[in-house]
Amino acid sequence: MGLNVQTFRKIRQSLIFLIGTLLLFSCGNANPNAGATSTAPVTPSATPEAPPTMNNIIPKPHSVQPAPGGFLLTAATGIHVPSGNEEITAIGRYLAEKLQPATGFNLEVIPASGAPGAGNIYITLEGGDPALGEEGYTLAVTPDLIALVAYMPAGLFHGIQTLRQLLPAPIEQPTVQPGPWVVPAGVIRDQPRFTWRGAMLDVARHFFGVADVKAFLDEMAYYKLNRFHLHLSDDQGWRIEIKSWPNLTAIGGATSVGGDPGGFFTQEQYAEIVAYAESRYVTVVPEIDMPGHTNAALASYAELNCDGVARPPHTGMEVGFSTLCVGADITYKFIDDVIRELAAITPGPYLHIGGDEVQTLGTDEYNAFVQKAQSTVHKYGKRMIGWDEVGRIDLLPLTIVQYWNGPLAAEAARKGAKVIMSPASRTYLDQKYTPATEPGLYWAGYIEVQESYSWDPATQLEGVSEGQVLGVEAPLWTETIRTFSDVQYMVFPRLIGLAEIGWSTAAGREWSEYRLRLAEHGPRLDARNLNYYRSPQVPWV
Ligand code: IFG
């Protein structure tokens, strides 16, 4: 009887580990006890893993120079941070928290005034190169020291994500694993290609609460994404408390697509989400969709309707039928109150007003409304973002257009607007992978993992070149996505590739190489217990 696949894989893993460990300790001073107080010999892991390598990081770093040997993380490893710097101390604590479950080590975060001795981790801005920009970093690993240096704290935070991926995959397990915890030696110098690396969660069609949103943010941070677009209102649901218009959540927040349970964020809960995101160097971008996609508001207040009659709640999936009453004064008091309250609880500079799929207004009516909305957003100190339909209006210099499916993004770019690239046929995570995918839609086509990876934001759209592209964003619309497990299934692994498109250089980026790195990445998704789609296009290990 032949070996079954599982047994074969186990034997293969053990051989790989054995060879890797022998190589590691033979060709470099792994200094297994550097900095350790105990002199206990290193016991090989009972769960053999691939030999440590710097070549499987996602997003792919800007430059990687491997070196012989590795740094052994032990319970005695200290995380040294500049004394008195609260922000970097918090980053050090974050690292300690992320390493604790799988190692069982309670690593100490130690205020330092300079580089520590052997066997430690050093996180600092000292010597940070301005050329690394706000989000770049260098990570230098020798058998004696891990030095993470950046010009700004966000760079240190992104460097931590790389360090996590340099440790063996079991580092992501929620329970203590045998180790050893070897970080391969070498130098990584890294910084992002685009400043806008985003994901959007539609909490209007189906509502996802604070805990799910925090879990989503944790995964975004792991892949160095930095913009979280929250689609807070639509025909089927209004999900953010507006104190001056309480029915928006009392009535507009009561249901969802298919009559599923509703829900909403109080302003305190929204503030909690924003704080959580900010601590992970993610900027929250709230969206109140207008003048279309507004049935939830029109169901909440009769006076917002031109005929003075409140609309019934919408639990279907049709789009384009609703619009605010753009000829009524009350509409502009409404949007002023909403934008004012939302701007006041949003520390980020952006406020998204949607503007998509308005089939019941003339062009002039639409343009005049969006122009007023743009002035209102500007009045409250925010930069307006709109889906590409807003490209028709006279855009303020700082207004951003989000390309999804039409010709107007190119028109906006010609007027000098910056563009966020969210081509539906590549980035819409609610689209099925294949016809066999349970949840999801397919109006933009089936989007397998290879298809979501194999494109470039600078060449995707005629008339929109690299200099006009702020970056990329992957929206997850939730008409058909009812559980957080389904969110994970539709998001992973496609969001991982989109994070690489936003971060890594275009040169040399190609599917045939990425698919192997993604395959090696699989055990890290398993360790984080993510319900991801194991695409047959990827040779998962
Ligand atoms: N288009 C709509 C979304 C959602 C989507 C589902 C945009 C900008 C189709 N608008 O995408 O509200 O219904 O795939």
- Residue nearest (by alpha carbon) to ligand 1 atom 9: 477
Closest CA to 460 of 477, 474, 443, 472: 472
- Residue nearest (by alpha carbon) to ligand 1 atom 10: 356
Task: Please give the distance, rounded to the nearest whole angstrom, from the Cα atom of residue 248 to the centre of ligand 1.
Answer: 21
Cβ burial 454-492 (10 Å sphere, 16+ → b, else e): bbebeebbeebeeebbbbbbbbbbbbbbbebebbbbbbb
Atom of ligand 1 nearest to the CA of 317: 13
How would you write the pLDDT of the chain (541 residues) with one tens digit per residue? 344 544 555 555 555 555 544 544 443 333 333 333 333 444 444 445 567 789 999 999 999 999 999 999 999 999 999 999 999 999 999 999 999 999 999 999 999 988 999 999 999 999 999 999 999 999 999 999 999 999 999 999 999 999 999 999 999 999 999 999 999 999 999 999 999 999 999 999 999 999 999 999 999 999 999 999 999 999 999 999 999 999 999 999 999 999 999 999 999 999 999 999 999 999 999 999 999 999 999 999 999 999 999 999 999 999 999 999 999 999 999 999 999 999 999 999 999 999 999 999 999 999 999 999 999 999 999 999 999 999 999 999 999 999 999 899 999 999 999 999 999 999 999 999 999 999 999 999 999 999 999 999 999 999 999 999 999 999 999 999 999 999 999 999 999 999 999 999 999 899 999 999 999 999 999 999 999 999 999 999 9
* Type of residue found at 22: L
- Residue nearest (by alpha carbon) to ligand 1 atom 11: 404
Task: Please give the distance, rounded to the nearest whole angstrom, from the Cα atom of residue 14 to the centre of ligand 1.
Answer: 48
- Ligand 1 binding pocket (C-beta < 6 A) is 319, 356-357, 387, 404, 428, 430, 441, 477
- CB contact at 8 A, 244 and 303: no
Beta bridge partners of 402: 387, 420
- CB contact at 8 A, 51 and 42: no
Angle between helices 153-166 and 86-103 (to 10 degrees): 10
Task: Please give the distance, rounded to the nearest whole angstrom, from the Cα atom of residue 477 to the centre of ligand 1.
Answer: 7
**Cα 94 vs. chain centroid, distance in angstroms?**
17
Q: Which residues are catalytic?
A: 357
Atom of ligand 1 nearest to the CA of 234: 12
Closest CA to 493 of 219, 198, 192: 219
Residues with Cβ < 8 Å from 379, sequence gap 6 or more?
none
CATH topology classification for 196-334+355-508: TIM Barrel (3.20.20)
Angle between helices 153-166 and 210-222 (to 10 degrees): 80
**Cα 292 vs. chain centroid, distance in angstroms?**
27
pTM for this entry = 0.92
R_g of the chain, CA atoms, integer Å:
25
Name the residue ranges covered by the structural domains of the chain.
9-190, 196-334+355-508
Take residue 27 and report the two structure tokens written for it: 């060709």
Task: Please give the distance, rounded to the nearest whole angstrom, from the Cα atom of residue 490 to the centre of ligand 1.
Answer: 15
- Residue nearest (by alpha carbon) to ligand 1 atom 5: 477
Take residue 515 and report the two structure tokens written for it: 């698919």
Atom of ligand 1 nearest to the CA of 444: 14
Tell me the three state secondary structure of residue 98: helix
Residues with Cβ < 8 Å from 402, sequence gap 6 or more?
352, 385, 386, 387, 388, 409, 419, 420, 422, 473
Task: Please give the distance, rounded to the nearest whole angstrom, from the Cα atom of residue 457 to the centre of ligand 1.
Answer: 20
Q: Tell me which CATH homologous superfamily contains domain 9-190.
A: Chitobiase/beta-hexosaminidase domain 2-like (3.30.379.10)
d(CA 280, CA 362): 42
d(CA 438, CA 458): 32
- CB contact at 8 A, 91 and 156: yes
